[in-house]
Amino acid sequence: MMIDQVHGIVGQIAMLIELAGVAVILISILLSSGAYVVQGRQSGDWRDAYDRYRSNLGRGILLGLELLVGADIIATITAPLSYESVGLLGAIVVIRTFLSFSLETEIEGCWPWQRAAAASKKHQVEKR
């Protein structure tokens, strides 16, 4: 009986985290879009505004995906474990991790293992 209550609470927590992930994505879309329009109008440089828009939007989606993956992992605690449920979770985590990796690479403009070299180059250029 007590275990069923704990599983119910954990399931509700997982659902709240999922809702938070969706909310983060939706809010980032609204805020990024607003910032894009404001920056584009103020500067007149719509290309730079677009680049920042994509970066901001990507960061919001990335954060939302992280929350969704966490919610999926927590939700497996409450579900009866079977090879099918574990395989489904694994597939979801792999897909979302790939999406996160792709978004992060797009935002940073380099592969994660090249980040230190890119930061060093950027720092050297800024010194000049």
CA-based R_g, the chain, Å: 20
Using an 8 Å Cβ cutoff, are 63 and 23 in contact?
no
Distance in angstroms (rounded) separating the CA atoms of residues 122 and 46: 23
What is the full DSSP assignment across 37-88?
HHHHHHH--HHHHHHHHHHHHHHHHHHHHHHHHHHHHHHHHHSPP-HHHHHH
Please list the pLDDT of the chain residue by residue as tens digits (128 residues): 677 788 788 889 999 999 999 999 999 999 999 999 999 999 999 999 998 999 899 889 989 988 998 898 888 777 777 888 788 888 888 887 888 788 888 777 777 777 777 777 766 666 66
Considering the entire predicted model, what is its pTM? 0.73
Predicted local confidence at residue 127, as pLDDT: 66
